[in-house]
Amino acid sequence: MIDFLQMVVSGVAVGSSYALMGLAMVIIYKTSEVPNFAQGEMALVTSFITMMLLTTFGYPVWLAFCLALVFAAFLGAFLEFAVLRRAKNPNILGTIVITIGLEMVLLGLVSWKFGAEQKTMPFPIGPYDSFIIGDIFIAKLEVLTLVSALLLMTLLFFFFKYTRLGLAMKATQQNAVAAKIVGIRTNRIMMMTWAISSVVGATAGLLISPVIMHPFMMWDPMLKGFAAAVMGGMTSLPGAVAAAYLLGIIENLFGGYVSIEFKSVVAFAIIVLVLCFKPSGLFARHYVKKV
């Protein structure tokens, strides 16, 4: 029983990083209906910039992290303005290929600048600092990630539901032409969407960095975050978060009771099953686009 509870707790903890990446992908998808596969590498660049601010320039942690999130917002806005917006009438497949290309470019830049070896991110909470409740170990960094994911999900829920910018993003997703007619600046909305999404993804990267830091560190969280977003519904923020935690628990239980070697296969098997039986996701409502 103790082993089961420990695996569930660990699954919730790892699900928090999946939740942040899932949130970041849903934010862009809610506006453009295109998954951003460069999301992980955008967070990767921000994490390495943060490490440089801490180790090379000696900035305090709180200031380096604040500057990193500002950088993440500018990076997201820049990529949308300089790359995505310049594409001439791309279809969905073309836009997905562009995001994959951005992923490769950003990964190459980080590998070239910082090298491929393991790095260490200075952080006040160590990866092995933990609470002990009975026989259950809970890492402090995992608790921080959990709190960050739930806080961001709550803020984003109210943002999309009650703010003018959030409503404009939803209108742009429904029908960009109609949104333009009623005065919504859809290009500006897309830029803001990429900026917000980049900040959410960068938060995941900054919380993963104290545990593991190398150029490929965001591949697994990004793919699992995408799996959670598909499982929960690509337009549902609470659904993506709930699915991320469910995925983390299922993945850990599978690794503990079945086979650790095939642990990563679980996420993609779930994607196949969800797309076969409930294409809109477990927590999202199917909608018809207005024309």
Q: Tens of pLDDT along the chain (291 residues)?
A: 667 888 888 888 888 889 999 999 988 888 877 889 999 999 999 999 999 999 988 899 999 999 999 999 999 999 999 998 888 777 888 889 999 999 999 999 999 999 888 888 888 887 777 888 777 888 888 888 888 888 888 888 888 888 888 888 888 877 777 888 888 888 888 899 999 999 999 999 999 998 889 999 998 899 899 988 888 888 888 888 888 998 888 888 888 777 777 777 887 787 888 878 887 777 766 555 544
| Amino acid found at 165 | L
Classify burial at 33, counting beta carbons within 10 Å of its beta carbon; exposed 0-12, middle 13-18, buried 19 or more: middle
Residue 214, burial from CB neighbour count under 10 angstroms (0-12, 13-18, 19+): middle
In 77-153, the DSSP E strands lie at: 130-133, 136-139
Contact 206, 221 (CB under 8 A): no
* CATH code of the domain occupying 2-277: 1.10.3470
Confidence (pLDDT) at 164: 86
Cα–Cα distance, 64 to 67 (Å, whole number): 5
Question: Could you state, in order of their start, the residue ranges of all structural domains in the chain?
Answer: 2-277
Is-above-0.85 flag for pTM?
Answer: yes
